[in-house]
Amino acid sequence: MIQNKKSQSHEPYAPVTKNPLLAARLPKWRSTFVLLLVFAAFASLAGRAFWIQVVNQHFYVDQGQKRYQRTIELDATRGRIVDRHGAMLAVSLATYEVWASPKLIEETAIAPLSKLLDLPVSDLRRRLVGDKTFVLLKRQVDADTAARLSKEGLVGITQIADSKRFYPEGESAAHVVGFTDIEDNGQEGVELAANEQLLGVPGQREVIRDRLGRVVLDIGPRMPAHNGDTIHLTIDRRIQQLAYAQLKDAIAKHHAEAGSVVVLDARNGEILALANYPSFDPNNRARLTGRQLRNRAVVDTFEPGSTIKPVVVALSIDEGKVRPQSIIDTAPGWYRIGPAVIHDTSNHGAMTVAEAVQKSSNIALAKLALNLPAEKIWSKYQEYGLGLRPELTFPGVASGKVRPYKRWRPIEQATMAYGYGLSASLLQIAQVYTAYAGDGTLQRVSLLRQQKDSGEGSAQAAPSTDPQQRVTTPATARSIRAMLEMATGVGGTGRAAAVEGYRIGGKTGTARKQIGATYAKNRYRALFVGMAPMSDPRLIVAVMIDDPAGKAFYGGTVAGPVFSGVTGGALQLLGVPPDAPGV
């Protein structure tokens, strides 16, 4: 027993590392690999943190802000369009857009929504079907309807402030003012020509929204919107209404296809009225057609007929070829030029130059034209603005056409003198007569107050010149005025244009309509252009009635009475005193 204990006491202990229970079962290199892998993971995390928080910090900050920070655009109100006295021609009214969250709309809300928004129930249900979170139900809802909708307190309905363009003058000024589309961008007329000034500049507001989209905080200074400018026109809405009413009645009376009236201030060329028929209601364009949309006074060109005769008469006087009392023989009522024959309405025999204008003799004007160089006539037409686009801030302004003089044959040179072989718009013809209303200075037409620069368009524009250009002498202008007054008196072609209490002057025109390459039988444009009062001309009024289908078709008979009605009413509206003898 003792020996056994002794022997046990001297026996050494076995090493721990050699204990089979504690011995490693995996190779040493694997633990080293795991340690390196953990170190690499921490290194990549540190690198990623450095990349996000230091190198690319601004990108991730911006991305985060986009989740809760918004820039709200503050709409600018479209500017107003007013007449020369400040009367509204176009204004933006407050309206609303109605949006819905389909998932929040209850069945009981369908009926009141349908009634208030004037939408069929089936249409309303169709819009609310689907996975969309926000659906537009209706735009341009008026303020009264929006207020009634708010009182209903319907869950899931949101109203967003909007605006709608309103045109107080309706049909009478439609072609002047034009209209906008549903996005408030100009489409026609002044709305298009002055679109940039009318639009204004939107503002901005930086805000923070919560998860429901509600604004909870402004985080930056608000940049207010700058509303559009107010556009002041030369139009007088009273004269515009008068011109439109007179034109509409005349077209109905003579069963005509269409017509136009232009009224100018004779002193400066400002457009006081520009009326067309057929017209349209810019507040309700559901059934608008191209025929209604055409601004005929500006975009339509046609052969002006006898209304252009004063130009060649004035040129002949200025060149010293004739005087107002010079005699021209027009017998026997026809005149042959090569194979062509020119006719007057009757045999006037020998007549003075003044009487040739009074009775509108084609033969007399042909002889005057053939006594002048073709280049001289062409150059003078250019000076009057014929064949050149009027310097007018307005879309679609036509230039008309005067063919190069080198291509004129003798018969064409003759017909140019009485308005065939060239084309012009009614606005251009009215502009011509501004030279005779004063001292021989042509007044360029304008539509915007204190602005006579050229507008947009691809048509040829007149050279940039002073708004006033001398085209004839003061003495010749006085002579032409006297002839125009004779034309509206006893023995003249424009007696139906007379205005009670006022001396007037003007020129009739009856131009055959060209259909294709030939002139149509029994289809005409009836024209009258004149001025009043003759003691000191204040107004120039040009009238065109297209294709009258009744018994009457002459310019004096059809267009003359329109001139009378427009001129007489406009002179009274402007407070111009009568100047007729005995008044």
CB 417 within 8 A of CB 432: no
Residues in the chain: 583
Question: Which parts of 339-411 are beta strand (E)?
Answer: 340-343, 350-352, 401-402
Task: Please state the three-class secondary structure of 111-178 as a single string.
Answer: HHHHHHHCCCHHHHHHHHCCCCCCEEEEEEEEHHHHHHHHHHCCCCEEEEEEEEEECCCHHHHHHHHC
Cis preceding-peptide flag for 12 (omega within 30 of 0): no
CA separation for the pair 365, 485 (Å, rounded):
18
3-state SS string for 485-522: HHHCCCCCCCHHHCECCECCEEEEEEEEEEECCEEEEE
SS3 219: coil
Residues 6+ apart with CB under 8 A from 133: 101, 102, 103
Please give the Cα distance from 188 to 281 (Å, whole number).
13
For residue 184, which of 94, 105, 271, 119 has the smallest C-alpha distance? 94
Q: Which one from 279, 306, 423, 479 is the annotated catalytic residue? A: 306
Neighbours of 264 (CB within 10 A): 28
Q: Which residue has the tokens 């129930």?
A: 121
Q: How far is residue 287's CA from residue 292's CA, in Å, rounded to a whole number? A: 10
Question: What is the number of alpha carbons within 13 Å of residue 95 lying toward its C-beta?
Answer: 18
Are 401 and 301 in contact by the 8 Å Cβ rule? The answer is: yes
Residue 77 DSSP code: P
306 is catalytic: yes
**Using CA of residue 244, residue 245, residue 249, residue 250, what is the dihedral sign?**
negative
Residue 453's region, left for phi above 0, alpha for psi from -120 to 50, else beta, is: beta
Provide the 10 A C-beta neighbour count for residue 413: 20
| CA dist., res. 98 & res. 259, Å (int) | 42
What does the buried/exposed string (b/e) look like for 105-126 if buried means 16 or more CB atoms within 10 Å of the residue's CB?
A: beeebeeebbebbebeeeebee
* Distance, CA of 48 to CA of 340 (rounded, Å): 95
Helix H or strand E segment including 297: helix 296-299
In the structure encoding, which two tokens stand for residue 363, read together?
Answer: 């033969």
Q: Do 541 and 530 touch, CB atoms closer than 8 A?
A: yes
Please say whether the dihedral angle defined by the alpha carbons of residues 438, 443, 448 and 451, taken in this order, is positive or negative.
negative
- 8 A C-beta contact, residue 42 and residue 190: no
Packing angle, helices 309-318 and 474-487, rounded to 10: 140
CA 183 from centroid of its chain's CA atoms: 16
Q: Which residues are catalytic?
A: 306
